[in-house]
Structure 1
Amino acid sequence: MSPKKPLPGASGPTTLGPRMARAEVRHSTPFVLFNALFMMAGSAVAAWALLPVYDSMRYVLVAGAAILGGAAVAVLCDRLRWGASRVALLTALVYIVVGLTLAVPGALTSVSEIADAALDLLRGPVTGWKDIVTLPLPLGDYGTTLVPVLALFLVGTTTSTWLAIRARRLWPLAALTAAALVIIAIAIGPAVRADALAWAPFGVYASREFLVGIAAFAVLLSWFGWRAWYTRRQAIASAFGAGGVQLAKSSHASRLAAASAALAMVVVGVVAAVLVTAPIAESTPREVVRSSLDPRLVVESKVSPLSSYREYFADDAFAATLFTVNVEDGDPERVRLATLPYFDGEEFSAADPEGSAVARFQRVPSHVEVEGDTEDVTATVSIGAQSGIWVPIVGELGSLDFQGARKATLVDGFYYLADADAGVMVVDDGLLSGDAYRVNGERPSEMPSLTEIGTPPGVPTISPELIPDSLHEWVTRQDTSADAAGLAELVRRLRVRGYLSHSIESSTDGETPAWQRALGEYSFASSASGHSFDRIDRLFQQLNEREGEVGNADEDLLVSGVGDDEQFATAVAMLASDMGFPSRVVIGARLTNTDAQGFAAPPCEAGVCRGENMSVWTEVQSDKGAWVPIDVTPQHATPVSPDVANQRDPQYASALDPQRAEPIVPPVTQRGQSDDDKPEAQELTTGWQWVGPALRIAGITLLGLLILLGPFLAILIWKLARRNRRRRGEARDVVYQGWDEYLDDAVDSGLPPLPRATRTEVAREYGTQNAVALASLTDRVTFGNVAVDDATADEYWTLVAADRSELLARKSWWGRVKMRLSLRSMWSAVQSNGAPQAKSADSKAPQRWKSGAGMRSEHSLVTASHRRRTSAQSRHTHKRKKKS
């Protein structure tokens, strides 16, 4: 009857006696220092990856102090044999000292600053990440943005170094900790990929991010290699140092060959990875945490403010106070609500459809630097009936201070796009009645006129495919120059030949709308809303048809294009872009009368901006980078000629809302189609068309299963290959390898490895049915020169298979699965004393020895020369081994 097996990990008395107790291992100082250096190198790679986010010397000092301090804490506590609690205490002390001296600028200037800095150090690691991923880059040493970095590198370096030095079984987690630092640094890094390295060989695309990845891989791989070498050397010393056996050293040539092979494998792997990933990285946008900011999602989810422009002229909003601008300093001419640089053929929007990191709203630090010759503008904006995400801003924003009860909420929800001078509020429902803020901005000291913007730079912002042919036809009829003066003349003619109309109906509830009454003597003409490609195409078709009817006649006879600021701002933006000028559309209001022709909406009276004051204008960029505003509102004094007025847009056309729009197949009478056009040939369907999709689905499913189950299949195949390899060779070696197989099965089943026990002690401790027989036969083969034939070796392995089945039978279904997939035997092999070659005193024949029955290689290799020894020599060798 086999003895009862104790539970793995259970405490209490053991049959192995006190000599089997694990002694505490105290590593040497070089071992500790080398591990600390490797972990510091891994943290330094992560700090290098995060350098573009800050781009300041203070960041380098903070990161360096955190890395050095974390490693020093781990090394000091190890040398003094202090526990984890003291490690945490010293880490907190380093965090406070470095935080007050480096991470928080000006923290030691006064007692109150010290108190505020201490509060920032307390909450910074929790709340500071939002500033890092939302503020525009580089951060420099702004505010407390260095506090999370200090906590990250200090805690990460301390943890990785402590695990590398002190963890007996879980020391590989140190590499995971170092890798996690690199991953976090990449995740919170810049959203714009670094420029390609000009010195990359063979024209391969490689950037700074490639170097970060290669450096991290090299550091961790080098650490694992050094750790494996050190563990092997320690295993050799432990196994043979006390036995008086001289170790056989490998030749320099063999060591050089092994090192060269390892280096070649690494180089080939890195080169292959670069060649494979370079095309993917070059064509794939960089996605990090700051790439998916809420402002962009909020802006994209809203209907374009230009599409809803006519809502300002409804009776309830026309006279309502939207917001009030109280100018304190400077003389601003306009207040900007939304800037829309991007046109996709349906609408103008503020969000780049390609998701460019340059066109992304970001949080505002204490101040935004404004370049150029400017003058200060200061104003207080109070919100009335205006609500939504768009924030009225005066001039180019320098700083913005919110006021009122919702100050903290508004500060967290405000995002700004510096390239467009536009801001959005993404919290709750945006700005609400009663909100107020103070704007400190800048405006150009001198604004050039449209005729002074120079020659077109040839950088259009609207794709040529999105500009209708009718616009080109109209421009050709005008016979103007293709420069700023020609653009100014085209804008003048467009406004004079257009006619203002905010609605498709002439009345609401039987009463004249407020916007019509405000225009005085006004002859109503219907106008469809929207500013899509088709809507602008119809606008220029009206102009071309009328000019084709009357020729180059009086301007009053050429009035035909009906619309308002929505359509005419889009038309002017297309005209400018077609000439090669960058252009964009802006929604806002005028604080002073800037329209020389007098067609635009009236300016805000005493800073009070109502619906009637809202307007749209186009901005064109000069050759020096300045954005010049162009008023685009058409005239309303000269009505449309009756011949053209009869060709109205549909009486009940629907307003465009791209969120709810549905595609409609146009009839063949539309432009570009005719009844003569032959329909496209329809692909004939056959009964085998399902084969392709079915095979594709099956392939994708099989690939997914291989990805999910591949690691587990690899473990099973590896174990099967190891078992088959051990069953081959000479019969005596097959017996030794069978004992190794039994030990591996036992360790994988959850039994503890016993590196210092004899085979008989191991057999009694594990308690399987055939364990004692296996141990006895292995000892007799090892020390008794017992002849072994193939039949005996096969019988031996039969007993091994029976004990494996017994170990499996002890487990539940899930336990059997875990045993078959367990890699504990592999880790036990890495942590064992190894299987080095030894050279005995009386023979030069190589032998592989084990100082105990639980080690991970063959227990003895009796070579041909050893088998020819006499029994007396064998007994002498036996006694010496037992003594060792």
Structure 2
Amino acid sequence: MAARRRGRAAGPDAAMFVDLGFVLALVAVGAFAAWPIYQTWYLVVTVAGAVAIAAGAVLVGRLRGWSWALVSVCAAAAYVAFGVPLAIPSAFASRADFVGGYRDLVVATVGDWKKLITVDTPVGHFQTLLVPLLVTMLVCTTAAFSIVFSRSRSYGALVPIMLVPTAFAIVFGTTGPGTSLTIGSFRVAALTHTIVGVLALGAAGGFLVWRGQHARTVALREAAAASGIRRPGGTAVGSARRIAGAVAVALVGLAVAVPLSSTALEPSQRQVLRSAVDATAQLGRYTSPLTTYRAAFSSQPDTYNAPVIRYSGDAQQLGRLRVATMSFYNGQQYTVLPNDSDRSSAFAHKPQLTSSSRAQGLASLDLTIGSGFDAALGSGVWLPTVDGLTAISFGGSDVNALTDGFYYNDKLQAGAELHKLQAGDSYTLLAKPQSAAGQLGALSPPQGAVPATADIPDSLTQWVQSQNLGTGGQALTGLIQRLRDRGYLSHSLVKPTGTDTWLTDEGAGAEFHQSLAGESMDRIGALFDDLLRQQQEVGLDAAPADLVAGVGDDEQFAVASALIAESLGFPARVVLGFTLPGGDADAAAIPACSDGVCRGKNLTAWVEVQAADLTWVPLTTTPQSKLPLSEHQITTSVPKLPTQVQQHVATVQPPPEANPTGGNRQNNEHAPQAAAGPAAWLPALRIGGTIVLILLIIAAPLVSLAIVKLARRRVRRQSPSSAGRIASGWDELVDTAVDLGLPAPGVRSRVEAAALYSAASRASDSTTLRTLAHGADEAVFGAFDPTPDEADEFWAQLDEQRTRLAAAFPRWKRLLALISLRSFRNRGGDR
């Protein structure tokens, strides 16, 4: 105890100051390395707070003589107390958010490590993503300060401990190499990462060299004091020689390490945790917004005039509001997400959008959700944004929830809001106004683009070829214009009623013609069938009014225009949205929003085609409504079928043996046999049909039970998450065993259940069953979710084991298992 007090009372020496300097130096290197991840000056507050908490906890512990366990508890308590202001600046939005921030802090301490690699960098101070950095810095500095202030001889442990923050920044960092530096023929790739590596390893090497030299000096001094023999001191020349040698070795090391690290950090070879994580938002369950397009033009309920969204600001500069961008056509509809979602269709958190500040030269638009938002846009998950979006900020009491629910796709220039939008929710968009598109006729497709052939109706291809306009941008714009001129606008199958509908807005003389919904190949093919039929009837050079034949609205004509562009080799996509005042819509298009309100009647769809410079150029596709549908098209496509009334006249039927052609009686020997044939079979058919019906009634519950089991297996196999698929797969194996008559797991673990089932069936593989049990435990309780490939492999092995498990039982037992109800009962104990 006395020695402990003397050690605690001893004052600081040079070694302690060097140790502290090394710790703070690597804290600074770790913060510098983490800057590309966060790129917010709040990082300085987080790191400084972690160092202050660690230093305070260790100093208090040293003064009071606490053990390392009490010091750790003190640091953890300070972390809980000060973690919210240090790492969750969004909690300052309101008092409720600040109180809720402590709950978020606890959750983020465990869960935000994975979340950090699913959000696109820079993450800023988005949500609670500074918490992993705070935890890393706090744990490392607390351990390091404990070693320093205890004057432990295990100073070497400071090196791996304080390299952890730098490793954290590298592992959780960006996949890109960053900037490079070229000096003559010498190129340093990934300059930032190279500097971080040199600083961290240089500081660690210098610290170990100095510490070793210092320990040698202290040992010599103590030996001289004990023996009385004094060692002559070194000369200045010797000291200079040692310093020069150390510098030379360091320079040689840099000359070798820098090129090697630059090569290792090339973009094609750099792999971090973020490389293996796809940050796609799960939006596949939402229907394509284009399929509900006509709901915006309904008069019952009146979504046609209902305010969908209100706006104010620089609407003239921005031109259009984008609700959803649909780039994937599957032959049935255009969708926002493809069937096999990839990085090009990934919606992800974009902290750089939600944390950017207002910059000069940006247009600003304030938007407020209106009462007709859900009715006009279906699910309401697609958030209206603009081209060139650089920042978005939400307002109101749900600002944090709306920010958390916002996802964005840079390639599609489309946003989604998974937090349910309510009327009155508001947000502000900052965007760089896009330059006006050049001459549309001068467009050319991107290099290497190939005309699409799949999912293109034959009638569309025939119509395009019959126009004789060639290829390229001029042909594309000419074809789309002809399609619009020869189409007729109609939004419904039934004539709208009321005084303020889309039909009355077309003018007093507007005619109503039925229009089928849908955008499948059949619907688009029928549209071009009408155009081809009318063109063949009147000739290609007929008057424009005689060629009007296709009926539809933006849903059909936008899709048709996109498919025309694809057939010419232009990548195309359909965009649903609104035209703002000052937009480039023409007189034939859906009217633009006015008076600060976008209503259902302003919802429109247009096509964007990709040019050779990879920019997307919008094209209006709304059909005209001034020229009426041609009379020939009306008579052929909507034929009039008058009802003919037939007079019923009583007639006298001749007797069976009478000859209807004369008065003589007919002696027909074949007539009795022909009549007797069906009569003889009728009783047999009745009896056979009755027996079959009884058998079907008996078998129906059994077949239904088998179908229910197949459906259950299908649902389990198609679980949204890989972990859920694996856990459900194990349940499927257990249900198979239970239906075969084996006992339920009860309180047994999965491994114990695997041993039980392998013992009951000689055909099963005990090793594989045990591996499957471990895999299910890892999927449920592991720190990381399994990959889809691992889930597929799990199910492949599972199916094999289910088959082998059943092979040990007789055929009749396996048949009874198909209709057994045992697996639907409670599996809480043995049965």
Task: State the TM-score, normalized to the length of structure 1.
Answer: 0.50
Query: 2:621 maps to which residue?
Result: 632
Query: 1:160 maps to which residue?
Result: 144
- Note the C-alpha offset of 1:481: 9.7
1:274 aligns with 2:265: no
Unaligned 5+ runs, structure 2? 496-500, 638-716, 719-831
Question: Which structure has more RCO (C-alpha within 8 Å, separation ≥ 6)?
Answer: 1
Distance 1:197 1:104 in 2: 36
- Note the C-alpha offset of 1:493: 1.5
Query: 1:529 maps to which residue?
Result: 519
Asked if the contact 1:321–1:384 (Cα under 8 Å) also holds between the matched residues in 2, the reply is no
- Note the C-alpha offset of 1:616: 1.7
SS where residue 209 of structure 1 aligns?
Answer: helix
Query: 1:297 maps to which residue?
Result: 281
**1:67-95 C-alpha deviation (Å, 9 max, x unpaired):** 87579769977997965668987999999
SS where residue 436 of structure 1 aligns?
Answer: coil
- Note the C-alpha offset of 1:32: 1.2
Of 290, 307, 316, 1:324 maps to 307
The aligned amino acid for 1:390 is V
Output aligned runs, 1:87-106, within 5 Å: none
Query: 1:288 maps to which residue?
Result: 274
Asked if the contact 2:609–2:616 (Cα under 8 Å) also holds between the matched residues in 1, the reply is yes
Output aligned runs, 1:48-67, within 5 Å: 48-53=32-37, 55=39, 58-59=41-42, 62=45, 65=48
Output aligned runs, 1:694-733, within 5 Å: none
Asked if the contact 1:416–1:424 (Cα under 8 Å) also holds between the matched residues in 2, the reply is yes
SS where residue 198 of structure 1 aligns?
Answer: strand
Output aligned runs, 1:157-556, within 5 Å: 157-164=141-148, 166=150, 168=152, 171=155, 173-186=157-170, 189-190=173-174, 193-199=177-183, 205-228=189-212, 230-231=214-215, 242=226, 270=257, 274=261, 277-278=264-265, 281-282=267-268, 288=274, 292-293=278-279, 296-299=280-283, 301-302=284-285, 305=288, 308-309=291-292, 312=295, 324-325=307-308, 327=310, 329=312, 336-340=322-326, 347=334, 349=336, 355=343, 360-363=348-351, 365=354, 369=358, 372=361, 374=363, 376-382=365-371, 383-385=373-375, 388=379, 390-393=381-384, 401=394, 409-416=401-408, 422-427=414-419, 430-431=420-421, 434-441=422-429, 456=443, 460=446, 463-464=449-450, 466=452, 474=464, 477=467, 479=469, 488-498=477-487, 529-530=519-520, 550-555=539-544
Distance 2:39 2:462 in 1: 48
Of 3, 6, 14, 1:30 maps to 14
Distance 1:106 1:305 in 2: 33
- Note the C-alpha offset of 1:48: 0.9
- Note the C-alpha offset of 1:492: 1.4
Query: CA 1:446–1:284 in 2, change beyond 3 Å: closer, same or farther?
Result: closer
- Note the C-alpha offset of 1:46: 1.2
Query: CA 1:283–1:326 in 2, change beyond 3 Å: closer, same or farther?
Result: same
The aligned amino acid for 2:405 is G
Asked if the contact 1:373–1:445 (Cα under 8 Å) also holds between the matched residues in 2, the reply is yes
SS where residue 282 of structure 1 aligns?
Answer: coil
Query: CA 1:615–1:276 in 2, change beyond 3 Å: closer, same or farther?
Result: same
Asked if the contact 1:327–1:378 (Cα under 8 Å) also holds between the matched residues in 2, the reply is yes
Asked if the contact 1:335–1:395 (Cα under 8 Å) also holds between the matched residues in 2, the reply is yes
**1:744-778 C-alpha deviation (Å, 9 max, x unpaired):** xxxxxxxxxxxxxxxxxxxxxxxxxxxxxxxxxxx
The aligned amino acid for 1:588 is G
Asked if the contact 2:311–2:365 (Cα under 8 Å) also holds between the matched residues in 1, the reply is no
Unaligned 5+ runs, structure 1? 1-17, 509-513, 647-658, 661-884
SS where residue 281 of structure 2 aligns?
Answer: helix
Distance 2:610 2:551 in 1: 27
Distance 2:491 2:556 in 1: 10
Query: CA 1:206–1:475 in 2, change beyond 3 Å: closer, same or farther?
Result: farther
SS where residue 325 of structure 1 aligns?
Answer: strand
Query: 1:781 maps to which residue?
Result: none
Output aligned runs, 1:594-633, within 5 Å: 596-598=586-588, 600=590, 609=599, 614-619=603-608, 630-633=619-622
Asked if the contact 2:23–2:141 (Cα under 8 Å) also holds between the matched residues in 1, the reply is yes
Distance 2:322 2:218 in 1: 73
**1:325-377 C-alpha deviation (Å, 9 max, x unpaired):** 36364578865421346789995536996636997442553676477574655
SS where residue 50 of structure 1 aligns?
Answer: helix
Output aligned runs, 1:551-700, within 5 Å: 551-555=540-544, 565-566=554-555, 568-570=557-559, 572=561, 584-589=573-578, 596-598=586-588, 600=590, 609=599, 614-619=603-608, 630-635=619-624, 637-638=628-629
Asked if the contact 1:560–1:645 (Cα under 8 Å) also holds between the matched residues in 2, the reply is no
- Note the C-alpha offset of 1:121: 9.4
Query: CA 1:538–1:451 in 2, change beyond 3 Å: closer, same or farther?
Result: farther
SS where residue 307 of structure 2 aligns?
Answer: strand
Query: CA 1:193–1:384 in 2, change beyond 3 Å: closer, same or farther?
Result: same
- Note the C-alpha offset of 1:212: 2.5
**1:28-77 C-alpha deviation (Å, 9 max, x unpaired):** 61211222222222211211122235546x55864785587579769977
Output aligned runs, 1:765-844, within 5 Å: none
Query: 1:47 maps to which residue?
Result: 31
- Note the C-alpha offset of 1:402: 5.4
**Larger-gyration structure (1/2):** 1
The aligned amino acid for 1:183 is A
- Note the C-alpha offset of 1:286: 6.1
Distance 2:309 2:289 in 1: 26
SS where residue 196 of structure 2 aligns?
Answer: helix
Distance 2:534 2:452 in 1: 24
Asked if the contact 2:182–2:188 (Cα under 8 Å) also holds between the matched residues in 1, the reply is no
Asked if the contact 2:57–2:71 (Cα under 8 Å) also holds between the matched residues in 1, the reply is no
Query: CA 1:412–1:445 in 2, change beyond 3 Å: closer, same or farther?
Result: closer
Query: CA 1:77–1:527 in 2, change beyond 3 Å: closer, same or farther?
Result: closer
- Note the C-alpha offset of 1:581: 8.8
Query: CA 1:147–1:124 in 2, change beyond 3 Å: closer, same or farther?
Result: farther
Distance 2:232 2:461 in 1: 89
Query: CA 1:169–1:242 in 2, change beyond 3 Å: closer, same or farther?
Result: closer
Task: Tell me how large the CA RMSD over aligned residues is.
Answer: 6.9
SS where residue 327 of structure 1 aligns?
Answer: strand
Asked if the contact 1:413–1:426 (Cα under 8 Å) also holds between the matched residues in 2, the reply is yes
SS where residue 216 of structure 1 aligns?
Answer: helix
SS where residue 585 of structure 1 aligns?
Answer: strand
SS where residue 44 of structure 1 aligns?
Answer: helix
Asked if the contact 1:165–1:171 (Cα under 8 Å) also holds between the matched residues in 2, the reply is no
SS where residue 605 of structure 2 aligns?
Answer: strand
Query: CA 1:466–1:206 in 2, change beyond 3 Å: closer, same or farther?
Result: farther
Asked if the contact 1:304–1:347 (Cα under 8 Å) also holds between the matched residues in 2, the reply is no
Query: CA 1:522–1:645 in 2, change beyond 3 Å: closer, same or farther?
Result: same
Asked if the contact 2:325–2:413 (Cα under 8 Å) also holds between the matched residues in 1, the reply is yes
Output aligned runs, 1:132-151, within 5 Å: none
Distance 2:26 2:61 in 1: 20
Query: 1:698 maps to which residue?
Result: none
Asked if the contact 1:341–1:583 (Cα under 8 Å) also holds between the matched residues in 2, the reply is yes
